[in-house]
Chain A
Amino acid sequence: MSTVETPAASSNEAPPPSPLRRVASFAANQQFILFLVLVGVMVFFDFHNSRFFGTSEFTNLLVDFSEAVLIAGAEMYVISSGGIDLSVGSTIAVSTVVGAYAIQYLEGHHFGEFPSLLLGTFACAGVGAMVWVINALLITKARLVPFVATLVTLSMGEGLALVFSKGGTVGYDPAAAVWSSTGFWIFRWLTLMVLTVTVVLGLVLHFTRYGRYNFAIGSNPFAARAAGINVNRHVASVYVLSGVLAGLTGMIWYFNTSGGAPQNGIGNELEAIAAVVIGGVSLFGGSGRFTGIILGVAILTVVHDGLVFINIATTWNEVVVAGFIALAAVLQSMRPGTKRLM
């Protein structure tokens, strides 16, 4: 989209000659601020411990990034369509457990390693989709507010993950661990797949009708309906998408921890929402840039991993994250045209 400079545009207000011309100028600023923060944090950690800029640490960073970015992307879709999703974390837990059982069963029946892992991935995505079909039904048919509906599936998911796994890790799988640690340079294959999906999510959100409708519904559902958009169908599809992404994240956890543990991903919905807030996405819906949440996830990941490098206990992580959320929220409320309650 670097060719959006048109005669029409140049005859209007002189636009900045950047490919991001379509982004409102302040939003562009916020992206830039986030980028500076990310670079600043990384330089800070490297200044205190020169091993931070090493290949192995970047590999780890990307692995942690890939565990968080898909559900943050899912949360971005949901929040910008005017909803909220509390159940991404617990869906990771359920899907990782069910996926582990599926792989165990398939490998036990001589399905071969690769087909088993592939089918296990489908099982994870399927579980995620089922959880979100429940969400979608509760929201569009039973007319629950998204907060309550996803609170229901949050509790249900956490509970079912424990019931299914009987409290322990399902299926230790060294093959998965070996496969997931291969790749080239700082990229593992799994990381590359996640990054590809992330790019597709961003493109769909900003350059297709589906993404446009997402923002329109978040901005004014009545207007969206009057314009002929099937609002209920779209909202339902966003929750199903969110479920599939959480299910895939469950599979990533399976690979990275070599098994399905019921505590995988629990509480991660708050990290995802934090990334969305830091990324400058309005919690009222209708606006935000996908690059913002990518930067948000990157900042959270770097902070989380970097604290270890400067000898600060990881227990401080949440406190530091809180600081970033507060900073981002204040930045956002200073934005012109922000809705205020008081």
Chain B
Amino acid sequence: MESTPENNDLTSSKNRQSGPVGSGVDPSAPMLLSLRDITKSFGAVQALQHVDLDIPAGQVTALIGDNGAGKSTLIKTVSGIWAPTSGSMYWQGQEVHVHTPRDASHLGIATVYQDLALCDNLDIVQNMYLGREDTKAGMLDEISMELATTKTLKDLSVSTVKSVRQLVGSLSGGQRQAVAVARAVMRESQLVILDEPTAALGVSQTAQVLDLIKTLSSRGIAVLVISHNLNDVFTVADRIAVMYLGTLVSHGPIANYDRNSAVEMITTGKSDRVAALASSN
């Protein structure tokens, strides 16, 4: 994990702290998504304060933090559920404005929400294609959608689903998670955001979802995963970003963290161990 890109990234993040905020992205390390000085307030409450975050392609970034730290607010901002109060977003080095979920999905950002945002009464194919159905002469092209769904599930090694015409309401938690992720993949998303993908899952289903996350990043897709489970985080993540009371207190390659320092960061917002590990790398 001590390869050059990560070290580059660490230096660039140091530069950013010293330089003027919002001055742009370091051209030597173009990030898939960069957030600069993102602030989001709800009335008097500041849910996000001056958040800077870089998400590289093909890597798994874990977003961790205590309840109320602003993790969900951050991903909802990135995915267009609500617009940031101030700050800027860069997609592949270009400044972008994301105001609706459709904007985000046009960029290639797919978000898998905690409640999964699936329609229980629709089957797997219908859910996979929701909002962008294939049509032929105005009518839904069920055959091509069914074939593509089957292929995508096979590509992701999702083998537990019996029929792609099963209603999603009849699936297990792990299968639903797989359908939601497969939907993101089929839309050729470049960034997949997962909100607590393994909460409420059993041991073997958790393992399946973690495998799925690794498959995604091996296909060059960036993954941003929110998790409370540090076991999961240290199993799949390449990078860690820690939020504390609405601010992003630390982010970098996973080698800069260990379990204790991560817990320390989550609960107090700072850790001497992280600084020590970062300088030793």
**Chain A residues packing against B (C-beta within 8 Å):** 1, 3-4, 6-9, 11-13, 15, 21-22, 24, 203, 207-209, 212, 215-216, 218-220, 222-229, 282, 286-287, 337
**CA distance in complex: A223, B117 (Å):** 4
* Contact among B102, B116, B126, B139 with A207 in the assembled complex (CB-CB below 8 Å): B139
B120 touches A8 (CB 8 A): no
Instruction: With A12-B164, A207-B140, A208-B138 as known contacts, state yes or no: A228 contacts B115, CB within 8 Å.
Output: no
Q: Given A218-B121, A227-B130 in contact, is the A6-B162 Cβ separation under 8 Å?
A: no
Q: Which residue from chain B places its CB closest to the CB of A11 in the assembled complex?
A: B150
| Complex Cα spacing A277 to B5, Å | 61
Within 8 Å of chain A (Cβ to Cβ): is B122? yes
Contact partner, B117, options A4, A6, A226, A337, Cβ 8 Å: A226
Say whether, besides A228-B132, A229-B130, A337-B169, A220 and B139 are in contact (CB < 8 Å): no
Given contacts A4-B143, A228-B102, are A219 and B121 in contact (CB under 8 A)? yes
Beyond the given A203-B139, A227-B130, A228-B132, please list 16 additional residue pairs across the A-B interface where CB-CB is below 8 A: A1-B142, A6-B146, A6-B147, A12-B163, A22-B165, A209-B140, A212-B130, A216-B126, A219-B122, A223-B119, A223-B130, A224-B119, A224-B131, A226-B101, A226-B117, A228-B105
Is B66 located at the chain interface by the 8 A CB criterion?
no
Q: For residue A173, give the distance in angstroms from its CB to the closest CB of chain B.
A: 38
Q: Which 9 A-B pairs have the closest CB atoms?
A: A227-B131, A286-B121, A219-B119, A219-B121, A223-B117, A228-B102, A227-B130, A228-B131, A12-B163
B121 → A minimal CB distance (Å): 4
* Binary contact track B134-170/A, C-beta < 8 Å → 1, others 0: 0100111011001100100000000000111101011
Counting chain B CB atoms within 10 Å of each CB, which of A8, A15, A225 scores highest?
Answer: A8
The reply to whether the CB of B133 lies closer than 8 angstroms to some CB of chain A is yes
* Assembled-state Cα–Cα distance A79/B167 (Å): 19
Are B115 and A13 interface neighbours, CB within 8 A?
no
Contact of A220 among B117, B132, B133, B147 (CB under 8 A): B117
B118–A212 contact, CB under 8 A?
no
- The answer to whether A215 and B117 have CB atoms under 8 Å apart is no
Contacts of B113 in A (CB 8 A): 226
The chain B residues found within 8 Å of chain A, CB to CB, are 81, 100-102, 105, 111, 113, 115-122, 126, 130-133, 135, 138-140, 142-143, 146-147, 150, 162-165, 167, 169-170
A208: contacting residue among B115, B116, B120, B140, CB under 8 A: B140
With A22-B165, A223-B118 as known contacts, state yes or no: A229 contacts B143, CB within 8 Å: no
A-B contact pairs, 9 of them (CB 8 A): A6-B146, A9-B146, A12-B150, A15-B165, A215-B122, A219-B122, A223-B118, A228-B131, A286-B120
By a CB distance below 8 angstroms, the chain B residues around A224 are 119, 130-131
Contact partners of B164 in chain A: CB under 8 A: 8, 12
Q: Which of A209, A226, A228, A337 has the most CB of B within 10 A?
A: A226
- Asked if A212 contacts B150 (CB within 8 A), the reply is no
Collect the chain B residues with CB atoms within 8 Å of residue A8's CB: 146-147, 150, 164
Q: How far is the CA of A35 from the CA of B117 in the complex (A)?
A: 36
Report chain A residues within 8 Å CB of B135: 208-209
Q: Kindly name the residue among A4, A24, A203, A227 whose own CB sees the greatest number of chain B CB atoms within 10 A.
A: A227
Complex interface: chain B residues within 8 A of A219 (CB): 119-122
Q: How far is the CA of A15 from the CA of B163 in the complex (A)?
A: 9
Query: What is the CB-to-nearest-CB distance from A144 to chain B, in angstroms, rounded to a whole number?
Result: 24
Cβ distance A153 to chain B, nearest Cβ, rounded Å:
28
Nearest opposing residue in chain B for A284, CB measure: B121
CB–CB B130/A337 < 8 A:
no
**Given A216-B119, A218-B121, also A226-B143 (CB < 8 A):** no
Complex CA distance for A282 and B142, rounded to whole angstroms:
24
Complex CA gap A209/B137 in Å reads 12
Residue of B101, B116, B121 near A287 (CB, 8 A) is: B121
Bound complex: CA of A114 vs CA of B121, how far in Å?
A: 46
By beta carbon, the residue of chain B nearest A217 is B119
